[in-house]
Amino acid sequence: MDKFLVIVLLFTLVFSGCATQQDVTTIDYRLALIEKQYSESVKKRKELESRLATYKKAKHQNDQELRSRSAGQYAQIDEMQEEIAAIRGKIEETEYFIKKQVKDLERVDDKKGGQLARIDETAKSNKNRLDRIEKYLDLEPSEYDSKIDVRSDSTPAIKTGKQLSEREMYIAAKKAFDQGEIESAKVRFQNLLKTYPKSTHADNAQFWIGEIYYREKWYEKAILEYQKVIEKYPKGNKVQSSLLKQGLAFYNIGDRANARLILNELIKKYPKSNEAKIAKRKLKGFTP
């Protein structure tokens, strides 16, 4: 998609008479970068497919154990989850495009500036839509920390050795997650669990670790992380979320038997929840 946009932009600049040789050279360079990124993504996909094949081979040995534990889950609706992933992808794509190209393209002409303004507006609209979906699912909104008075120097405190409170650690981790800093968020959530294992935020932190692996499409690992929420925090507010999400993870790796088992368990235990309604809709789409 990025490659197509760059080609369209190149032709637009050439035929409008506004492009300089430097503009063309710059765009060619960016096109080469995009092709390189595509090759790297293909390589990563093959690695993930290899990892999945290894898991499937080992999965047959522990299927019975997973079924007996009746691993259930709670999370976002399947249709909305796919929409969220698509929206986040568009937001990240748009933000990257704006940051890397605004300075070069703002001198081309006024029309291009108008297009960038519309792209920015679309990104904001998508972000608001995503927040509404998360609110419907009873998840923390992306701006979770906006209503809490935490000074901006809380992050440097980590470097100086100052111990953050469990609340500050959770807010910092969730903020990193919302900003797409996945690896940083995972480390911060794990540090919170290690430093404050009995924190009131522990179940949420564990759930978001599962979400990180789910977002990376490492569904096998996500299943295990969601299971920790269910077993360690049975009275927490993320049990239903983990049940639904675990069922969806099984579905995504092609294990519909376990997916059906978990979603039915969710419906049985929490029949009036939004997650149960989502699970019912998902089960209707299962083929016999």
Query: Which pLDDT tens digit goes with each residue over 150-196?
Result: 333 334 334 445 788 999 999 999 999 999 999 999 999 999 999 99
| Same-domain status, 220 and 111 | no
Say yes or no: 82 and 156 in one domain: no
pLDDT of 215 > 70? The answer is: yes
Range of the structural domain that residue 161 is part of: 152-284
Does the pLDDT at position 89 exceed 70? no
Residue 222 domain-assigned (yes or no):
yes
Same domain, 124 and 182: no
Question: Is residue 238 a part of any domain in this protein?
Answer: yes
Q: Are residues 108 and 223 located together in one domain of the fold?
A: no
In a domain, 62, yes or no: no
Residue 261 and residue 207 in one domain: yes
Let me know if residue 15 belongs to a domain: no
Residue 144 placed within a domain? no
pLDDT of 198 strictly over 70? yes
Here the tokens at position 178 are: 């919302």
Helices (H), the chain: 2-16, 21-68, 78-105, 110-136, 156-160, 166-178, 182-195, 202-215, 219-232, 239-252, 256-269, 274-284
Q: What is the pLDDT of residue 45?
A: 83
Q: 93 with 191, same domain?
A: no
Output the CA angle 30-36-39, nearest 5 degrees.
145
Indicate if 121 and 159 belong to the same structural domain.
no
In this structure, are 87 and 209 located in the same domain? no
Residue 58 domain flag: no
Report field, pTM of the whole predicted structure over 0.75: no
**Predicted local confidence at residue 157, as pLDDT:** 39
104 with 201, same domain?
no
**For 118-154, what is each residue's pLDDT tens digit?**
656 655 554 555 455 454 455 554 444 433 333 333 3
**Among 136, 167, 182, residue at a domain's last position:** 136
Q: What total of structural domains would you count in the chain?
A: 2
pLDDT given for residue 42 in this prediction: 82
Position 9 in a domain: no
Q: Are 117 and 163 contained in the same domain?
A: no
| In-domain check, residue 103 | yes
Task: Look at residue 158 in the predicted model and tell me its pLDDT.
Answer: 43
Per-residue pLDDT band at 2 (split at 50, 70, 90): low
**Where residue 225 sits, what CATH number does that domain have?**
1.25.40.10
Q: Which amino acid is at 235?
A: K
How confident is the model at residue 69, as a pLDDT? 65
Task: Tell me: do 204 and 260 sit in the same domain.
Answer: yes
Quote the pLDDT of residue 53.
81
Which residues touch 63 (CB under 8 Å, ≥6 apart)?
Answer: 258
Together in a domain, 189 and 130: no
